[in-house]
Amino acid sequence: MKLTTEQIDALAPDAAAIAAGLKIGSSTWALLGASERALWGEFAGSGKKPYQVVFDQRSNGYKCSCPSRKFPCKHTLGLMYAGANGKIANDAEPDWVAEWLDARDARAEKAKAKAEAEKSGDKPKKTTKSGKTSSKAAEKRAERVAEGMEQLKTWLSDLIRVGLGSLDAKTKVFAEQSKRLIDAQAPGVAAMVQRCGKCIEQSPNWHEQLLGQLGSLALLVEAYGKIDKAPEDFASELRQTISWTISQADLLETGERVEDQWISIGQIIDASERVRAKRSWFWGAKSNRYALFLQFAAGRQAGFQEDFPEGFARVETAARFYPGVMKTRALWEPVDSADAQPQSVGLPKNLAVSIPDLIKRHGEALQKYPWTPFVPILLADVVVRPTPDEDLKKIGSEWRLVDKTGNVLPVKFDVDFERKWTVVAVSAEELIDVFGEWDGQFFSPISMWIDGACVYSISR
């Protein structure tokens, strides 16, 4: 499906990328071509060889050989703009384009075949490299996790006994303990321990916040020790937190199925690790619930499988929700690429809530599941403002959200200087709605809305 310039603008990471993409789109390319499947081109950059750029028109996937850390980069945007303006003639796909597209199709077909095979009951017996059944491997992993959790319990007791006064931003105790938990095959808990260390670096009120996070870890250890007695939904959520995974094939067969008009409301990319993670939030117009979809990409140049701009929707698409207490994370059911194309819609007027409503919802979430990492929310009628010096210690952040009645939330920005000030500028003239994640300590803005239309996305 051919994208419009407005849809391409929505995919861009920022205004500078749009300007650069438009300039490149109207420039001379060493190679340009199009097929039913894709657009492609070669553009002379600063390197010895032209950058190879390809865009999958069926799923909005893309790849560029340039070293840019913006996704999509200016070359990819330029290629899309050139295609939207009718400047690319149909041609035979070069080998490097066909190989990339064929590999994407093969992965999609393999996933679909696996799901269909498991649905029909034709499941091959899973074995490890040693030839033993996967149940033996699962038992061994459970033993390692149990040992790791017991060691974590001892570590927490020692840390509290010694006291927090000896800790500072240079301490390595959290990184060391995190490595032990990774070795114990509990990466989810390892990430929680890493966040404890970051708390010291990021907040002037870190003593109080750290104590709360350590208490949450201690509660997690106790809960895991009694997991066999817990309700199935709670036990499933706990296993996923610690980080047992559920195969996509199993989820497509057994996960709760919700067909809806799913509206893209916010996306954020975590590029802090070698494998980048993209969290995409959607709102179900009929089911009145949030859904979180995760995508992962290894390496700086790898693109994500799909990208739905904020304010666009998947119409009549089914999502399968992961089991658990919260039932927020989901997976799309496989559909034809033409059916998955974004359609422009607006957010319902009654979706945005007040800051007191957010605090209430967060409390309810913690009652259901104490290790809920964050609550997605669209806040109504707020502005972003710097925190006065006299309130800095109390708020714990240099920035805050303020509503029209004076309620305040501390804000955390995980973006660069330019995007941070863009958020402040967008909310300077009038009260706006802001979508983001609240973790109980900080609100992380993701997208900004006026009258149901997205006016700025912090990840683009």
- The domain locations on the chain are 5-96, 134-240, 252-344, 355-457
86 close to 92: Cβ distance less than 8 angstroms? no
Q: What is the pLDDT of residue 349?
A: 80
Answering whether pTM is above 0.75, one says no
Determine the distance from the C-alpha atom of residue 142 to the mean position of all C-alpha atoms in its chain, rounded to a whole number.
28
Q: What is the pLDDT of residue 140?
A: 84
Q: What's the CA gap between 328 and 289, in Å, rounded? A: 8
Q: What is the pLDDT of residue 222?
A: 95
Q: Report, as ranges of residue numbers, the positions in the chain whose pLDDT lies below 70.
A: 1, 114-135, 272-274, 298-303, 336-341, 414-418, 429, 460
Determine the distance from the C-alpha atom of residue 20 to the mean position of all C-alpha atoms in its chain, rounded to a whole number.
26
pLDDT averaged over every residue in the chain? 86
Q: What is the pLDDT of residue 122?
A: 53
Contacts of 82 (CB under 8 A, 6+ apart): 25, 26, 29, 32, 39, 41, 88
Contacts of 303 (CB under 8 A, 6+ apart): 61, 62, 63, 71, 72, 297
Q: What is the pLDDT of residue 128?
A: 40
Q: What's the CA gap between 290 and 310, in Å, rounded? A: 14
Alpha-carbon torsion, ordered 389, 392, 394, 395, to 10 deg:
130
User: What is the DSSP pairing of strand 343-344 with strand 312-321?
Assistant: antiparallel
Q: What's the CA gap between 187 and 182, in Å, rounded? A: 5
352 close to 380: Cβ distance less than 8 angstroms? yes
Q: Which amino acid belongs to residue 218?
A: A
